[in-house]
Structure formats: C-alpha cells, structure tokens
Amino acid sequence: MAEPDIHSELGLRRIVNVSGTMTDLGASIVVPQARQAIGRSLGEFFEMSDLFRHASGTIARLTGAEAGFVTSSSASGITLSVAAAMTGSDLAAIERLPDTSGLKDEVVILAGHMINFGAPVEQMIRLAGAKVVPVGHATSSYAYQLQGAIGERTAAAVYVVSHHAARTEQVSLETFSAVCRAHGVPIIVDAASEYDLRGFLAAGADVAIYSGHKFLSGPTSGIVAGRRELIKAAYLQNRGIGRAMKIGKEGIIGVMAALEAWEKRDHAAIRQRERSALDLWLEALSGKVGISARLIPDPTGNPLDRLEIHVDPELANITAWDLAARLASGDRPVMVRDMELEHGIIELDPCNLHEGDELIVAERIVEELMRAASESDPVHTPIAAFRQAQEKSIADCL
Ligand SMILES: *Cc1c(COP(=O)(O)O)cnc(C)c1O
C-alpha cells in the first residue's frame, strides 16, 4: 500500500535531490533497516549508558577504533572531541566549560581547512570554549608552520577532510599526525562526509568523526570513533555542554542499524545503479547546443562519480546559475550541485535518487534548455546580482 504523500499533507514541494547529502535538503534517504529500528525503539525505555556501550562496540568493530560514541551531528562531534581533549575525564572541568580557566585550550587547524559546511568549522571548536589557532594560509601550509603553532597551551589539532578544503600545497594527514604526535597533541579528524571508516584512524588520527546522515544513510547523528580515553571524555561531556547536543535512543539505535546495513551493503550494485543514472543523463545531454558533460570522480576519493555539465551561456542562451535556479523552481524542482556555478558548471550527484528520479532530472534539464533556446532575450543574470539575491534570501526564513 502506498504511503500518503507527506509533502502534500504539509503543503511542501517534493524535490529531486541531485546535489548530494545536503543538510538543507534533509541529508539522505534513510535505509529501511534504520527506519524499522527507530520505529521499534520509540515505545521502549533503555538504560542509556548500556545503549551507549553497545554502540561503542559496533563503532569499534566498523572503524577499528578502541571505542566510539554517538552524538547529534558531526558538528557536535567536533565540539565534544575538542572539549574532551581539554577536560579529560575531570567532571568539575566538564561542568565549567565553556570556561577553560586552568586548562590547555588552544586548538590548531590549517587555515585552508577553515571551511563552512553550513556553519563555520572553527565555530564548533570555539563552542567548547577553545581558542582557534590557524596554521599557514588559505593557499598553502607547511609542517614548520604547524610545528611553530604548537605550544604549551595546545590542547588538540583538528584536520578537515572535505571537498570544501583547500587543495593546493596542504600538509598531508600523515605529516600532520607525525608533527602533532611528536608534541603529544591529540589529532581530531573531521571526516563527516567520507566513506572510509578506517583509513583516518589508521593514518594517525586519535579521533575520527563521521555524519550518520550522509553516506551511511542513517538518522541525523554523529559518530565519534577513536582512542578509548578520549572517547570516554567526549561521552562524559553529556553531563555538560553535550547536553545541549543530545541524541536520543532512536538516534543511537537508528544509526547503529545504518552502520550494520553499511557493513552488508552491496556497494557494487549501488555504484552500478548510479552509473546507469549518469549514463542516462549523458545521453540526454549529448548534442545539446552549448552543453558539454563528463564524468568526474569525487575530489576526496569517495567511491562516487558525478556528472559535470559545462554550460556555454552564449550558445545555450542561459547561464549555469540561471539554469540551476530554473531547475529548482516550479512544481517538479530538481536541486543540482551548485558549488561551481560561477565557473559555468552544474554537477549532478546520483547518490540520493528515488526510483524514477533520474528520468525527471533528464526531462527537466532538456525542458529548461529548450525553453531558454526559444527565448529571444538571453537568460543572463549578471553573477554579482545572482549572488546578491542568493545572499538576500538567506534571511527570508520563517
Ligand atoms: C557535513 C559536514 C559537517 C557537518 O556534519 P553534521 O553531521 O551535519 O553536523 C562537518 N564537516 C564536514 C567536512 C562536513 O562535510
């Protein structure tokens, strides 16, 4: 029996998501195993410390870490890991945060890693009461700069793995870990959007943080895996600032089910399905005037390809950003990946498709290209005006 459509019930638009696992769009399609587990958990009581202990075992098995804990998001995982590095298991210090009097409270981070994932990563560090010490520059960083930034007050080092991070001349995780380890500084890796659950810990991280709601397709949650002592101290923050970032029973049980499903997932079959969507789009776009498309690998090495569509505004009579805006409008909205719009590029991400969505994407793009081609005036919003309108719309909420 088909479920009644929740969008029409709430008066909301049903979108097609080809932008990726975006918080702004509800992250990912939660796997059935997690949905069932969440449903089964909601009517029950649990001794939460036992539930956390169980989760720690599952996380340890999947990541190779000594221990793990679940929090409400990767963002809070960063805050709580930083807090853990400052307070250890000192309960009085935990209750005093974000007042860090008497504690080591500086956190080093490469300047090129100070990204915004929807909020600034450095703010998640400051939220614990820590002070951010940027290393190097947006365009380059060196081991000697990291060495020079570490001092008496250094509590931790944060390393960000992300397509948003600067990609030129940056200190590698191996070098970063070696320098930090030589000074006894714990290394926290933000791997929120990465598939590799073992590699960062293996490369020297003391803590690795993953989002439960991105590739893992679980409920909104953060997984923090690492050295037992630090994980324990991060968990104890639930008696302090962690309380404001609480995850409930359903979140813990849901993300455990998603992790177990991930272990058994037929990754090859999923890639195959993604590939057939990409092929369909390539075929739909072939020969379209002003359009060239090619497959591109994920920039941080996740096993995922996307379609990069280059729009020539003169030949297509529309700019990439106007095309993206038109695709997102109307009653069959298609949300494309829009990080390279200014370079005339739209990307399509195939990892969050419902059955049949790939056809809607192909139809809508062809439809909008034909519409633009038939208009006598060029659809060329100046990029500065487009960006200003985008900025203005940030405040148009509630
Ligand atoms: C998505 C993301 C985050 C935030 O993850 P949440 O679990 O949504 O808080 C942090 N860092 C990076 C690199 C991300 O991609």
Distance in Å, CA 363 to ligand 1 centroid:
32
Only one residue has tokens 């060029």, namely 378
* Strands in 276-387 per DSSP E: 291-297, 305-311, 334-336, 345-348
pLDDT at 1: 47
Residue 48, pLDDT above cutoff 80: yes
CA separation, residue 195 to residues 73, 89, 242, 344 (Å): 16, 30, 26, 29
Question: What's the rounded Cα separation, in Å, for the pair 347 and 278?
Answer: 11
* Strands in the chain per DSSP E: 16-18, 67-71, 106-110, 131-135, 154-160, 187-190, 207-211, 222-226, 291-297, 305-311, 334-336, 345-348
Distance in Å, CA 374 to ligand 1 centroid:
41
Residue range 204-222: average pLDDT?
Answer: 97
Residue 367, pLDDT above cutoff 50: yes
Question: What's the rounded Cα separation, in Å, for the pair 369 and 365?
Answer: 6
Q: Ligand 1: which residue has its CA nearest to atom 5?
A: 74
Nearest Cα neighbor of 191 from 168, 171, 170, 216 is 216
Residue range 162-189: average pLDDT?
Answer: 96
- The whole-angstrom distance between residue 358's C-alpha and the CA centroid of its chain comes to 23
Model pTM above 0.85: yes
Residue 34, pLDDT above cutoff 80: yes
190 touches ligand 1 (CB under 6 Å): yes
Phi–psi pair at 205, nearest 5 degrees:
-65, 145
Residue 90, pLDDT above cutoff 50: yes
Question: What's the rounded Cα separation, in Å, for the pair 375 and 365?
Answer: 16
123 touches ligand 1 (CB under 6 Å): no
Phi–psi pair at 210, nearest 5 degrees:
-130, 150
State the closest ligand 1 atom to the C-alpha of 213, by its place in the atom list counted from 1.
7
Phi–psi pair at 17, nearest 5 degrees:
-105, 105
194 touches ligand 1 (CB under 6 Å): no
Residue 166, pLDDT above cutoff 50: yes
Name the average pLDDT for the chain: 96
Only one residue has tokens 């590095």, namely 85
Share of the chain above pLDDT 90, in %: 97
pLDDT digits (tens, 9 = 90+) for 10-28: 999 999 999 999 999 999 9
Question: What's the rounded Cα separation, in Å, for the pair 141 and 168?
Answer: 9
Choose one of 19, 72, 193, 213 to mutate for the ligand 1 pocket test, by most ligand atoms within 8 angstroms of C-beta.
193
Confidence of residue 2 (pLDDT cuts 50, 70, 90): low
46 touches ligand 1 (CB under 6 Å): no
- Between helices 249-264 and 32-42, what is the axis angle to 10°? 150
Share of the chain above pLDDT 70, in %: 99
Question: What's the rounded Cα separation, in Å, for the pair 53 and 44?
Answer: 18
pLDDT at 329: 96
Cα dihedral across residues 233, 235, 236, 240: positive or negative:
positive
pLDDT digits (tens, 9 = 90+) for 215-251: 999 999 999 999 999 999 999 999 999 999 999 999 9
